[in-house]
Amino acid sequence: MTNRYLQVLRSYVRWAWLLPALGIALYAAGVSFSPRLRVHLLAFLLWITLLAGWVASMTVAMLKEQMATPRLRTVPGYRSAHLMVGALLMLITVGVLPIIMARPLHAPTLAVIAIAALGSAALAWIAYWQSIFSMILCFGFLSCIGLPRVQEALTQTIAGQRVDVSIAALTAATLIFAIIWLRLALLYEESSEYARAGGGDPTFNAHPTASPAARRGAASEAHWTNALLQAEYRGGRRSIYNAPLWRRVRHWRVVVGNGRASGVTAVMVATFLLALPMISGQTRATHARRSLIVSLVMITMMAVVPVAIITWFGRWRMLGQESLRPMSRRRFLLEMALAAAAELALTFAAFLLFATIPLYVWAPHQISEAFKLLPVMIAVLPLVLAAILWVLRARNAWIWMTGVGMITALSVVPVEITMKLVQGDLSDHDLYKLLALVASLLALAVIGLRTAFWSWERAELG
Nearer to another protein, 232 or 428 (CB): 232
**Interacting residues with another protein between 173 and 202 (CB under 8 A):** 202
Q: Which of 36, 106, 186, 235 binds another protein (CB under 8 A)?
A: 235
Number of residues that bind another protein (CB under 8 A): 45
From 106-114, 160-168, 210-218, 398-406, span contacting another protein (CB under 8 A)? 210-218
Which C-beta is closer to another protein: that of 64 or that of 216?
216
Q: How far is the CB of 149 from another protein (least distance, A)?
A: 42
Distance CA 152, CA 162 (A): 10
Is residue 325 within the footprint of another protein (CB under 8 A)? yes
Contact status, residue 92 vs residue 139, Cβ threshold 8 Å = no
User: What gap in Å lies between CA 177 and CA 113, rounded to an integer?
Assistant: 14
Distance, in Å, from the CA atom of 129 to the CA atom of 89, rounded to the nearest integer, reads 19
Shortest Å, Cβ 320 to another protein: 5
Query: 426 near 420, Cβ under 8 Å?
Result: yes
Q: For the CB of residue 241, give the shortest distance to another protein in the complex, in Å.
A: 4
Q: Is 328 in the site for another protein (CB under 8 A)?
A: yes
Select from 171, 192, 225, 321 the one that contacts another protein (CB under 8 A): 321
Say if CB 401 and CB 453 are below 8 A apart: no
List the one residue from 331, 420, 433, 450 that touches another protein (CB under 8 A). 331
366: how many CB neighbours lie within 10 A of its CB?
17
Per CB under 8 A, does 76 bind another protein?
Answer: no
When asked if residue 251 is in the footprint of another protein (CB under 8 A), the reply is: yes
Q: Interface with another protein includes 214 (CB under 8 A)?
A: yes
- Footprint on residues 379-398 left by another protein (CB under 8 A): none
Interface positions, 37-66, toward another protein (CB under 8 A): none
* Contact status, residue 387 vs residue 407, Cβ threshold 8 Å: yes
Q: Is 382 helix (H, G, I), strand (E, B) or coil?
A: helix
- For 310-360, the DSSP string reads TTTGGGHHHHHHHTTSSS-HHHHHHHHHHHHHHHHHHHHHHHHHHHHHHHH
Contact status: 427 vs another protein (CB under 8 A) = no
Q: How far is the CB of 456 from another protein (least distance, A)?
A: 13
203 binds another protein (CB under 8 A): yes
One-character DSSP codes across 404-439: HHHHHHHTHHHHHHHHHHHTT---HHHHHHHHHHHH
In angstroms, rounded to a whole number, what is the distance separating the alpha carbons of residues 306 and 262?
A: 10
**Part in contact with another protein (CB under 8 A); list of ranges 59-67, 212-220, 296-304, 342-350:** 212-220
Taking CA atoms, 38 is separated from 52, 99, 107, 242, 400, in Å, by 21, 20, 13, 59, 34
Neighbours of 273 (CB within 10 A): 24
In the list 210, 284, 368, 424, the residue contacting another protein (rule: CB under 8 A) is 210
Q: For another protein, which residue of 285, 324, 367, 435 counts as binding (CB under 8 A)?
A: 324
The least CB distance from residue 339 to another protein, in Å, is 13
Rounded Cα gap, residues 454 and 431, in angstroms: 35
Angle (CA) 355-361-364 rounded to 5° is 90
CB of 358 to another protein, least distance (A): 32
Select the residue interacting with another protein from 120, 130, 157, 205 (CB under 8 A): 205
Most distant pair of Cα atoms in the chain: their distance: 69
| Closest approach of another protein to the CB of residue 100, in Å | 38
241 is an interface residue for another protein by CB under 8 A? yes
208 binds another protein (CB under 8 A): yes
Query: Least distance in Å: CB of 217 to another protein?
Result: 6
Contacts of the segment 29-37: beta carbons below 8 A, 24+ positions apart: 31/104, 32/104, 33/104, 34/104, 35/104, 35/105
Which CB sits closer to another protein, 99 or 327?
Answer: 327
What residues make contact with another protein under the rule CB under 8 A? 202-210, 214-215, 217-219, 221, 230, 233, 235-242, 251, 254-255, 257, 317-318, 320-321, 323-329, 331, 458, 460-462
